[in-house]
Amino acid sequence: MKEFVEGSHAIAEIIRLCRPGVVSAYPITPQTHIVEDLAQMVSDGSLSSQFVNVESEHSAASVVLGASATGVRAYTATSSQGLFYMAEVVFNIAGMRLPVVMTCANRAISAPINIWNDQQDSISLRDAGWIQIYAEDNQEAVDFHLIAYRLAEDKRVMLPVMVCMDGFILTHGMETLDMPEQEKIDKFLPAYKPLYKLDTAHPITMGILADPDYYMEARYAIQATMKESVEYLSQISKEFNSVFGRDYKDLLVEEYKIEGADKVIVAMGSVCGTIKEEVDAQRAKGKKVGLLRIISFRPFPYARVYEALKDVAKVAVLDKSVSLGAYAPIAVEVKSAFCGKKKAPQVISSFVAGLGGRDITLESVQEVFRRLGAKEVNADFIDLKPELLKEEYGE
């Protein structure tokens, strides 16, 4: 059924429809509307979950860890500092192979403190062992949560999934979207049946100490699953399409007007809407430009990126985060996809934009295309204000 709703409300609604047994969260802007709505649903009786109001994100993640280990579907949501505060538990959940689903309302990292959007938070936890998928709009954000549970609980996967959606831009944005129906959801996402759980009838020990004789295999197993998950994402996407009629293809990347393009921007999340608009405008003028949107950042779809870009002359990677002192995070992955390969773009330039909520406008995208020349640039900042830099250094 089509509804015109706020992103956060839509997320709360899809989580309700996924029937989690335990929801636990700690408030942080811009995640708050999601968990407020869930709390209201529990209070109204439309959601039968246990809602655990905790004293920190560290405990929110710990509560869903415990709940998931007890064999119950569990949900949490956070953002920015909250994600960092729970980072230790985030790694632990993946290491214990617990299929928790979390929403990350993407937000900048302090200092300076800033509540607005970029993707530094989830990007910084890319090595945690969570599958990370990034939504472009709220229809995707809704659908991705459903897909996330299905993927996480797949016996071949058993890894947590983080659904990343740009803070404010999506969480607080109003959009008309099609909310999946309960009956279809129950078909697509049956009740969670854990492989192992804390159960007094069948006592097991979880969270053991693994010495150098055993540790590496546990880590290798996650890496192997991550690699295989590239295929599982595609399979589950196909099934999703057959039930709900929305086609996310392989759920790894979206190719937008790449055919015959000589300049392509690679980006992730809501900014892709703006880039598509600019691509359409330039295509209308006969310019051969396109967009490659990354949907799955972990596992990173190297083969798909290679196939999509191998014949493109110039590629611009647009990151909404930085790896201070190194190339930008998405750019590193894209460049890696071409290491030791026969074909490669002549230029892969990397740009950083939109940090701390600075708008990425059509002009910003035009500037990226302008700077994408014969000379490769790395982590080149877009939309900097030179007058502020002058003031800073007192030239």
Partner 1 sequence: MENNILFKPGHTACAGCGQAIAARLVIEASGANTIVVNNTGCLEVFSTKYPETAWGVPWIHSLFENSAAVASGVEAALKYLGTKDLTNVIAQGGDGSTADIGLQALSGMFERGHDILYVCYDNEAYMNTGVQRSGLTPFDTNTTTSPSGKQSSGNLRPKKPMPEIAVAHGIPYVATASAGFPQDLQRKVKKAISIKGPKYIQVHVPCPLGWRHETNQTTPIAKLAVDCGLYPLIEYESGVLINRKQITPKPVEEYLKSQGRFKHLLNNPEEIKKIQDIADNNIKKYNLKAEA
Instruction: Name the 3-class secondary structure at 76.
Output: strand
Interface region with partner 1, contact rule CB under 8 A, candidates 89-97, 116-124, 249-257, 330-338: 89-97
User: Count of CB atoms within 10 A of residue 115's CB?
Assistant: 17
CA nearest neighbour of 110 among 98, 120, 96, 99:
120
Residues 238-277: x where in contact with partner 1 by CB under 8 A, - otherwise, as a string: ----------------------------------------
**CB closer to partner 1 out of 115 and 198:** 198
Min dist CB 63 to partner 1, Å, is: 4
Q: Up-side HSE of residue 222: CA atoms within 13 Å toward CB?
A: 22
Task: Using CB under 8 A, pick the residue from 198, 281, 332, 347 that binds partner 1.
Answer: 198
**How many residues line the site for partner 1 (CB under 8 A)?**
43
Task: Using CB under 8 A, pick the residue from 3, 88, 181, 231 that binds partner 1.
Answer: 88
Subset of residues 214 to 243 that bind partner 1, contact rule: CB under 8 A:
214
Min dist CB 68 to partner 1, Å, is: 8
Min dist CB 53 to partner 1, Å, is: 7
Subset of residues 46 to 85 that bind partner 1, contact rule: CB under 8 A:
48-50, 52-56, 58-59, 62-72, 74
Min dist CB 216 to partner 1, Å, is: 12
CA nearest neighbour of 166 among 175, 176, 157, 178:
175
Instruction: Name the 3-class secondary structure at 2.
Output: strand
Alpha carbon distance 103, 154 (integer Å): 19
Q: Is 209 among the residues that bind partner 1 (CB under 8 A)?
A: yes
Q: Look at strands 253-256 and 101-106 and give their pairing.
A: unpaired
**CB closer to partner 1 out of 96 and 268:** 96
Write out the two tokens for 150: 């299905």
Write out the two tokens for 21: 């047994």
Cα–chain center distance at 245: 22
Alpha carbon distance 279, 365 (integer Å): 9
Q: 34 - beta bridge partners?
A: none
Interface ranges with partner 1 (CB under 8 A): 21-22, 24, 48-50, 52-56, 58-59, 62-72, 74, 88-89, 92, 96, 198-200, 202-211, 214
